[in-house]
Chains A and B, each alone.
Chain A
Amino acid sequence: HLEDKSLLVKNTSSWCHCQTSSVSEPCLSLFSNTVKYFNHFIPTISLNTNIWNIFTGDIGDHVVLINTRHIAFSGNKWEQKVYSSHSGYPGGFKQLTAAQMHQKDPKAIVKLAVYGMLPRNLHRRTMMQRLHIFPDDELPDEILANLTEELPQPREIPKKFSEYTQEEIDAFPRLWTPPEDYKMK
């Protein structure tokens, strides 16, 4: 499973601050999705990008997503969800399952998801330019230096059985007792 290293850092610079200063620094928000819960986190991302990046010019916050390689899909979507594309040439219809897509490019799934949730206008492309996705923890220095805020995870990551301490396991009551002559567990 995944350690919860997800940090969603959001730009705190409000648009009014940006307007007063002549040059607005691109402040960055960081979102790390060790476990990515699609339905919940993508809307939050798109909401943030929507609010903050809508303004024209160089104003607008950036959002950084890390650990996209460790995204989680609910249900059987890794096998069922299919990403289709057509190159425009005859015979150029390609269909890839989410698992194949992820193996080919770990950033693609997140990118397509965010792209699909942004409003279908001309701002969408500029907003996508302000989204920075990284498959692992490593970030380039310019981005690391400018990170301001961390956005919260939309869903809690459940604990594995091995992550519980022995006291917690003992504190949980036994619901049933096995009969005397039952052989083994």
Chain B
Amino acid sequence: MAARSMLGSLWTTFAGLKLATPCTNLQLQQRIITARLPAVTFQSRGIRQVGFSPKLILIICQIEGQILDVPAGPQPPNPSAKCPIYRWNLQNKYSYTDVLLLSQFIRSDGGMLPRRITGLCPEEHRKIAICVQMAHRAGLLPDHKPKLPEDHVPKRPKPQLNRYLTRWSIDSVKPIYKTGLKWCKRRMAVGHPALKNNVRYGVKPLYMKH
């Protein structure tokens, strides 16, 4: 998948080259570009190797893909389960801080991957989506931002405020001007009720209404 996107970019760069330039000066070399994929995959699906051989006068790119073998990674402790989180027994054990886990289910611009692709069960997909949202708002995924055009200037300077366990989107929340009396207090939400079954190693109960 990363290979294909790279191939796409290569194709466009070469399509843009002017074919009028004399090609005698160019040295036609075989260039092999290998896609960078993580070394650990627990199925040996193989990395596709991209070969790139320019032909004679006009620069025509011919891209060859070869599937290589990649050593299998660690096996999940519960391989018979359908959902990847149940396969690895991580059901109630992850949180918004586990960025290494969450980053496997997001696109490069920060959006979630579809459930039919990742194979998550519906509840876990929802929980991961919530944790990803909280991680984005906490600023833990700085590189997974959508690409803005280069001349984009933000209308108002955004205040840099640190936050964590934010349930609601920043612009959608209104200030609580009247909090009410003790018996009818309007509380502020922290965390998310979907994660209420998470493992707690301390004595204190989970406290979501501050």
Contact = CB atoms under 8 A, between A and B. Distances in A.
A75 B190 contact: yes
A74 B190 contact: yes
Interface stretch (B14-22, B24-32, B50-58, B94-102): B94-102
Contact of B142 (A102, A162, A168, A176): A162
Contacts, number: 152
B162 A35 contact: yes
A174 B40 contact: yes
Contact of B159 (A99, A177, A178, A182): A99
Interface string A142-185: 00000000000000001111101000111111111111101111
B185 interface: no
Interface residues of A, number: 46
Interface in B147-191: 159, 161-168, 170, 173-177, 179, 188-191
Contacts of A78: 161, 163, 170
A26 to B, nearest CB: 31
B73 A173 contact: yes
B175 A82 contact: yes
Given A1-B139, A164-B100, A174-B40, A179 B117 contact: yes
B108 interface: yes
Residue from B73, B176, B189 having most chain A Cβ neighbours under 10 A: B176
B10 to A, nearest CB: 14
A19 interface: no
Interface in A31-78: 35, 37, 39, 70-78
B146 interface: no
B169 to A, nearest CB: 9
Given A175-B85, A175-B101, A183-B1, A161 B144 contact: yes
Contact of B139 (A73, A77, A102, A160): A160
A17 interface: no
